[in-house]
Amino acid sequence: MLTSLSIKNFALIEQLEMNFSNQFSIITGETGAGKSILLGALGLVLGNRADLTSLKDKEQKCVIEAHFDIAKYNLKDFFDANELDYEDSTIIRREILPSGKSRAFVNDSPVNLTELQDLGEFLIDIHSQHQTRELTEEAYQIEILDAVANHESVLVAYKKHLSAYKSAKSELKKLVSEKDSLSKEADYNAFLLEELLAANLKEGEQAELEATYEKLNNVEFIKENLDRSLVLSNEEEIGIIQNLKEVKNSLQKVSNLSDDYKNLFERVSSVLIEFDDIAKEILVQGEKLFNDPEKLELVSQKLQMIYNLQKKHNVGTVEELIVIQNDLDSKVVLADDLDNQIQKLQSKIEDEQTVLDSLAAKITDKRNEAVPVLVNQITDVLSQLGMPNAGFQFDIKPSETYLPTGKDVIQLLFSANKGTDFGLLKKVASGGEMSRIMLAVKSILANYSKLPTIIFDEIDTGVSGEIAQKMGDIMKVMSSKMQVFAITHLPQIAAKGNQHYKVFKSDKEDTTVSELKLLGVEERVIEIAEMLSGKNVSESAISHAKSLLN
């Protein structure tokens, strides 16, 4: 429950600090006095977005701090799941800086707005006139019915399997699309792969083939030049070897006379040895050469095949062709693997469907059992609120698809009077009737919900007199199970509260501020009397106010 609220520099509020009890609290004040400002401040604590217009003094930061006693509400798991420090007395603080930046803290740990909003759902239900319209929405009608049906464990299991089912369906769709894409290319890929496999490619073979081709294609020319080289090297009179020998002999004769000559002699000796070896190698290479038209043709064909494949695949080496070959081969393997994966997913989806159908059937049964209980409870409360002939029907029809909360499509039908046809609630209920119906629903949910606090923001719109008195009684009963606040303009409701707070404006120097005050007994009599008769309070209004307050 909300134990205290501190507001600094927010809208028309300079500084406000207020403590609250766990009972029925009333908040009253003239239109425009600042009741909506209080709700706005609470909204920021619960994760609403803020901007610089929230700051009263644009040079100072706005700070809103709310203290909650959550010891009885089993929220420790939520704190653990969000890695927050749990405290029985939890403090939520929201700061809006002059720069426009907003910060939020739970027990001094920084949190984002999503975490704040998630936590807020466990703490306070702020019921405004806008929320009354939620009663006409199917999702809210299901939420009411499920609260009475009390089958949370089945709903949790259903949602878990629904998530697995959707995930499997999404993965199946992805794999089928991938397979379709592969299937369209399968024949062409198979042809390309077969073509590459037929080439029997090996790394480095292109360079070898090109060298072999050049030799075989130029045998005569090569042989002619090798033979000439041998003649020049080995000719008896003027051959290079013979001349080198003569140079060597001449230098040998003077090598003992100087180290310089000796060095020259040794160098020529080395050249002679090396050149003699070269001449022998030329002879060997020449003997290897011979015309082989068949081999030349085979080499030429293999090279042409490689060139054609490189051109087709827009690459320049055999190594790149081998990479493409491996990739095509993996696609063929992938296609086969996809079939296995698709089959497994289809089996998983069928299993999940079986479980979902079973759980959805249990949910439907529980809802059907809860309908008469809920209808009786609502009509009992509405009878107290001046609608003795109100009737409700829950039209539950099966859905063809899996919905977030089962396979039920629900419509809430309403009839205000005997003998009138049932129609959709949103079409046949008036504003005043909607307010009373919503209060009836909230009072019933108080018996099932563990929510600590509820704030009714002018739920009494469209009602007065005895009905207002009954609405106050119902909220008073609700306050025995939870903390209840009622923002109201009706004295009949205001008189029911255990505490009464007044929102009012005052002038301080050159500015207007909103303030919140806990009224004493006499102040409360005056406030209710003013609600009855206006600012000019009469003795009869005072007497009436005291009567209401009993």
Domain that holds residue 215: 178-337
pLDDT at 333 over 70: no
Count of CB atoms within 10 A of residue 368's CB? 14
Largest Cα span, the chain: 154
Pick from 131, 135, 128: nearest CA to 414: 135
Do the domain assignments include residue 83?
yes
pLDDT digits (tens, 9 = 90+) for 59-68: 889 999 999 9
pLDDT at 233 over 90: no
Query: Going by DSSP bridges, is the β-strand pair 391-403/406-415 parallel, antiparallel, or unpaired?
Result: antiparallel
pLDDT digits (tens, 9 = 90+) for 389-403: 999 999 999 999 999
Residues 182 and 273 in one domain: yes
Tokens of 301: 């064909």
Amino acid at 326: N
Do the domain assignments include residue 347?
no
Instruction: Report how far apart, in Å, the C-alpha atoms of 210 and of each of 204, 213, 218, 544 are.
Output: 11, 5, 12, 115
Do the domain assignments include residue 422?
no
Query: Going by DSSP bridges, is the β-strand pair 24-28/499-508 parallel, antiparallel, or unpaired?
Result: parallel
Banded pLDDT at 129 (limits 50, 70, 90) = low
Q: How much is the pLDDT for 332?
A: 66
Last residue of a domain, one of 286, 315, 337: 337
Please tell me the number of Cα atoms within 13 Å of 347 on its side-chain side: 6
Residues 29 and 109 in one domain: yes
Last residue of a domain, one of 309, 337, 365: 337
pLDDT at 130 over 70: no
Evaluate the CA torsion angle 372, 373, 374, 378 in order and state its sign. positive
Number of domains in the chain: 2
pLDDT digits (tens, 9 = 90+) for 154-198: 999 999 999 999 999 999 999 888 877 776 666 677 777 788 888
Q: Which residues of 338-468 form beta strands (DSSP E)?
A: 391-403, 406-415, 423-424, 453-457
**Whole-angstrom Cα distance, residue 37 to residue 258?**
115
Last residue of a domain, one of 304, 337, 370: 337
pLDDT digits (tens, 9 = 90+) for 188-228: 777 777 888 888 888 888 888 888 788 777 777 888 888 88
